[in-house]
Amino acid sequence: MKRREIYSDLRCIPPVIVRIDGRNFKNALSRMGFEKPYDEKFTSAIVEAIESFFKKSGLSPVFAYTFSDEISFFFRDNAFDGRIEKIDSVIPSYISSAFSLELDPEEPVSFDSRIIPVHEEDVREYLIWRQDEAWRNCINSYAYYTLISEGMEEHEAAKMLKNKVASDMHELLFERGVNISKVPAWQRRGIIVMKKETEIEGFNPHLNVKTTSTRSKVFTDYEIPIFSSGEGEAFLEKLLAQKADG
Ligand SMILES: Nc1nc2c(ncn2[C@@H]2O[C@H](COP(=O)(O)OP(=O)(O)OP(=O)(O)O)[C@@H](O)[C@H]2O)c(=O)[nH]1
Ligand SMILES: [Mg+2]
C-alpha cells in the first residue's frame, strides 16, 4: 500500500511563500457575528494564531503578512525537507486550531494552502501584489457595507459597485462621511508579524560584570508602510535582513 502514497515525494525548494486563506469565511464570520467590514476581535485572533505559530510550531518563517482572511508566510529554510503534503497540511491546520482555540472552539474553521516558490528578489513584488489586494479589498468592502447600512439590497450594492474604479469608490464613501484614507493602517495595508532580535541587559554575579545577550521576540506591526513606496522599500530591506531563527 505504501507505494500508493504517490504524492508523498513531491517537494519544493526554498525559499517559498506559503499562503493560506480562510475557507468560506464570508459565511463563517457572519455566523459568528463579526462586525463588517472589519472586526478587531477577528483580526486579533488571526494575529494571535500567527504569533503562536512563530513561538510554538517549531517552524521558522522569516515573517508573515496578513490581511482579511489570508496569511502569507515566507520561509528560507527547508521546512519538512520541502515536502509539499506536509507543508500544505501542517501549516493551515496549526493556524485553524490556534484560531479556533482563541475564538470559539464551537466553530471549527479551515484554511486552504498553497506554496509559491520564489527567489529572494521576488518577495517585494509578491508583497506589493498582496498589499494592492488588501487596499482593493478595503475600499470595496467599506463601499459595499456603507451602501448596505443605508438600506440597499446586497445585489443592488454589488451592481452599483461593479466596474467602479478606486477613485469612484473613494468619492462615493467621502460623500457618505467615510474618509477611507483615515481608516486604521492595518485595514488599508495589512499587518506584518516577525521575529525581532532584542538585546537583554543582565548581570553575572559570579564574575561581577554586566552582560548582554540577544533574544528574539515575536513582534506584530500594525502600522506598516506602503511596500511600493521608498519607505516601504527600506522597511522590506530591514525585514528581509532578519535571520529566520534566533
Ligand atoms: N465580518 C467580517 N468579515 C471579514 C473580515 N475580514 C474578512 N472577512 C470576510 O472574509 C472574506 C474573505 O474573502 P474570500 O477569501 O474571497 O472569501 P471566502 O468566503 O473566505 O471564500 P473562499 O476563500 O473562496 O473559501 C471576505 O469576503 C469577508 O467577507 C472581518 O473583519 N469581518
Ligand atoms: Mg477565504
Short-list 240, 11, 208, 29, CA closest to 126: 240
Note the pTM of the prediction, 2 decimals. Answer: 0.94
Higher pLDDT pick, 65 / 242: 65
| Cα distance between residue 167 and residue 194, in whole Å | 33
23 Cβ closer than 6 Å to some ligand 1 atom: yes
Atom of ligand 1 nearest to the CA of 40: 31
CATH superfamily of 2-136+184-188: tRNA(His) guanylyltransferase (Thg1) (3.30.70.3000)
Q: At 171, is the pLDDT very low, low, confident or very high (cuts 50, 70, 90)? A: very high
Q: At 216, is the pLDDT very low, low, confident or very high (cuts 50, 70, 90)? A: confident
Order of all β-strands in the sheet with 191-204: 111-117, 16-22, 70-75, 63-67, 191-204, 209-221
106-153 pLDDT, tens digit per residue, is 889 999 999 999 999 999 999 999 999 999 999 999 999 999 999 999
> So what's the pLDDT on residue 243?
62
- What is the mean predicted confidence (pLDDT) over 14-43? 96
Q: Indicate whether 246 pLDDT > 50.
A: no
Please tell me the residue having the least CA distance from ligand 1 atom 2. 36
- What is the mean predicted confidence (pLDDT) over 188-199? 92
142 Cβ closer than 6 Å to some ligand 1 atom: no
Domain boundaries, the chain: 2-136+184-188
**Which three cell numbers, joined as nine digits, stand for 164?**
467602479
